[in-house]
């Protein structure tokens, strides 16, 4: 590896990756002329095959990404204009294909099943590369969940405090392969996973409704605001999505052909979805509801048992880990649900919370597409409704009983995207308006991660995702100035970023020991040992005992900790342990 780095005049594996990426981009870009030449020789006249534009587009976008990485304005300007021209040519080519497919369907009553995948793949590749480009300029810090997932990924386990392990495995694998832990590499899998999900949903839509709908489904999914967010901030919903979508596809194949192989693949994908986020269980709930609702969606007992068995076997190692670790993940889930901890499940009903959750879905799915989906669910007998409506009902009930975050129904919109787009087949202008609106929202979201656009209060719109690294660096500097070898905090958000930002500082980071059961990963794994001695820096916004002495107020302006008073105390470790 050292000789390879020296040969290309780079010093890190991350830079080596970009060199290889640039060579591949140039190979694709130059290869278009070889394809055009061979096609012309075959036709005995000068022709421009469709593949020429595909290679131009793919190579052009990759070269644009490389140019941005190199900060070369001449290179950037040249490739940006070319990408627009290539995209326009491909749009004209495939608009004609879509029109011919409509004419073919009108004449024969059948739909041409081929032809959707290549334009869909191109759309996925281009949008994924553009989203990676936005990541290169993203000015937000890793959020508390992202830094926690990164920390988990430093040690592969079968489970972690609050989530199943898939997201940690992916982050650990990617950052390990490229040799870099920067936010770009932590977040980079998100856009790729959503691209894969879009193609899987396209394959399912093609099987159910034909290639025209398949291509629109790919475009609709890629432009969902939730997908735009999940391509910039790495979440467990993003990791779950391709496995959940694959389970839907294999389930459809199983219904069509009854093969036990598809039953096993369905169960495997469902199990992997649950290993990504426990909301993957909604797939199995949907299978059961679909079987009760429609006779043509019922599985044989053999196939149902094979599917369920494969799912359980896939998830079993994680469940064993949870049990062996005091069922902490189940306890955390119960804390999030909330009402299961109450003396009465009907105590403190939250009707306003349910309305807020429903309103938030217009931002998650997009205003027009969500309105179409809701209108469609009430009257359509599409089998995919069983994987959409029950999830929404369950989460709305949860919102009434306690609360529900906006993303808790994310799995509903995998099948829901197909349902909504299929319903718009006879309303092309509304379909274009819905997808266009969502695309504009995704572009706006990307822009506010790059530009510090202020809100009405003068603070950046994404201030929750900013100022975390600066605050951690301030704490680290304070610890060094005070001669402390360890930093103690009780706030999960502060600890999460300290572990990430301070990963190469040689300092130790600990949580204040819990007084009861552990309430987060840091209390469970990194509580301050009782035998720790010597000076430590205690960072807290709470009340401290007299032994902590006088604290120094830290600067919290302009970011996630704005308007909060957080102090740093140089004290002895025993003061924290015996507080």
> Digits of tens for pLDDT over the chain (579 positions)?
667 767 666 777 667 777 888 888 888 888 888 888 888 888 888 888 888 888 888 888 888 878 877 777 777 777 777 877 887 787 777 666 655 555 444 444 444 555 788 889 888 988 998 898 889 888 899 999 999 999 999 999 999 999 999 999 999 999 998 888 999 999 999 999 999 999 999 999 999 999 989 999 999 999 999 999 999 999 999 999 999 999 999 999 999 999 999 999 999 999 999 999 999 999 999 999 999 988 899 999 999 999 999 999 999 999 999 999 988 888 888 777 776 666 666 667 888 989 999 999 999 999 999 999 999 987 767 889 999 999 999 999 999 988 899 999 999 999 999 999 999 999 999 999 999 999 999 999 998 998 877 766 667 778 888 999 999 999 999 999 998 889 999 999 999 999 999 999 999 999 999 888 888 999 999 999 988 888 999 999 988 888 888 889 999 887 889 888 999 999 998 888 776
393 and 528 co-located in one domain: no
**Considering just the CA atoms, what is the radius of gyration of the chain in Å?**
26
414 and 534 co-located in one domain: no
380 and 423 co-located in one domain: yes
- Is 458 part of a structural domain of the chain? no
pLDDT, residue 39, reads: 86
304 and 376 co-located in one domain: yes
How many structural domains are present in the chain? 3
Identify the helix (H) or strand (E) that includes residue 288. helix 281-293
92 and 201 co-located in one domain: no
pLDDT, residue 80, reads: 75
**HSE-CB for 7 with a 13 A CA cutoff:** 7
309 and 406 co-located in one domain: yes
- Is 115 part of a structural domain of the chain? no
Question: Which of 90, 106, 122 represents a domain boundary (last residue)?
Answer: 106
The string of DSSP codes covering 297-326 is GPPPHHHHHHHHHHHHHHHHHHHHHHHHTT
Give every CB contact of residue 419 below 8 A, 6+ residues apart in sequence: 373, 376, 377, 380, 382, 384, 385, 388
- Is 469 part of a structural domain of the chain? yes
- Is 116 part of a structural domain of the chain? no
The string of DSSP codes covering 417-436 is HHHHHHHTTT-HHHHHHHHH
Whole domain around residue 489: which residue ranges? 465-578
Neighbouring-strand partners of residue 568? 539, 552
Q: Are strands 508-511 and 486-489 parallel, antiparallel or unpaired?
A: parallel
């Amino acid at each position: 590896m050292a000789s390879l780095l020296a040969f290309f005049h780079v010093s890190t594996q991350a830079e080596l990756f970009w060199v290889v990426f640039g060579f591949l981009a140039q190979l694709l870009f130059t290869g278009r002329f070889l394809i055009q030449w061979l096609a012309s020789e075959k036709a005995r006249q000068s022709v421009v095959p469709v593949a020429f534009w595909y290679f131009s587009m793919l190579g052009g976008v990759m070269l644009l990404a490389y140019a941005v990485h190199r900060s070369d304005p001449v290179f950037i300007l040249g490739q940006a204009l070319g990408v627009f021209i290539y995209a326009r040519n491909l749009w004209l080519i495939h608009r004609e294909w879509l029109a011919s497919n409509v004419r073919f369907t009108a004449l024969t009553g059948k739909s041409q099943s081929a032809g959707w995948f290549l334009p869909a793949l191109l759309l996925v590749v281009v949008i994924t590369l553009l989203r990676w480009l936005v990541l290169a300029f993203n000015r937000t810090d890793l959020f508390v969940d992202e830094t926690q997932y990164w920390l988990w990924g430093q040690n592969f386990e079968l489970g972690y405090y609050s989530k199943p392990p898939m997201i940690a495995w992916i982050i650990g694998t990617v950052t390990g392969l490229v040799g870099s832990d920067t936010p770009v590499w932590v977040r980079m899998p998100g856009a790729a996973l959503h691209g894969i999900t879009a193609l899987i949903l396209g394959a399912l839509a093609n099987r159910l409704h034909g290639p025209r709908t398949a291509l629109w489904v790919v475009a609709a999914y890629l432009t969902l605001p939730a997908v735009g967010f999940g391509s910039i901030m790495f979440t467990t919903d993003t990791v779950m999505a391709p496995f959940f979508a694959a389970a839907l596809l294999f389930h459809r194949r199983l219904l069509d052909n009854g093969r036990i192989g598809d039953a096993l693949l369905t169960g495997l994908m469902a199990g992997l979805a649950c290993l990504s986020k426990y909301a993957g269980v909604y797939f199995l709930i949907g299978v059961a509801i679909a079987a009760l609702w429609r006779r043509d969606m019922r599985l044989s007992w053999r196939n149902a048992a094979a599917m369920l068995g494969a799912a359980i076997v896939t998830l079993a190692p994680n469940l064993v880990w949870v049990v062996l670790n005091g069922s902490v993940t189940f306890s955390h889930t119960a804390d999030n649900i909330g009402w299961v901890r109450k003396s009465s499940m009907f105590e403190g009903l939250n009707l306003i919370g349910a309305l807020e959750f429903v309103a938030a879905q217009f931002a998650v799915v997009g205003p027009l597409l969500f309105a179409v989906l809701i209108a469609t669910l009430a009257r359509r007998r599409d089998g995919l409704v069983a994987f959409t409506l029950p999830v929404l009902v369950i989460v709305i009930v949860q919102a009434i009983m306690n609360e529900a975050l906006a993303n808790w129904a994310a799995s509903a919109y995998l099948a829901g995207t197909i349902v909504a787009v299929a319903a718009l087949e006879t309303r092309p202008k509304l379909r274009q308006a819905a997808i266009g609106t969502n695309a504009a929202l995704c572009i706006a979201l990307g822009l506010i991660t790059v530009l510090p656009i202020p809100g009405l209060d003068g603070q950046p719109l994404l201030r929750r995702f900013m100022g975390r690294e600066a605050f951690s660096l301030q704490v680290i500097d304070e610890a060094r100035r005070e001669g402390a070898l360890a930093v103690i905090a009780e706030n999960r958000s502060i600890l999460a970023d300290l572990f990430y930002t301070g990963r190469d500082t040689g300092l130790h980071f600990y949580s204040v020991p819990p007084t009861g059961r552990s309430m987060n990963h840091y209390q469970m794994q990194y509580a301050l040992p009782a035998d720790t001695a010597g000076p430590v820096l205690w960072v807290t916004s709470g009340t401290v005992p007299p032994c902590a002495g006088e604290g120094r107020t830290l600067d919290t302006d302009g970011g996630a900790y704005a308007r909060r008073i957080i102090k740093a105390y140089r004290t002895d470790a025993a003061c924290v342990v015996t507080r």
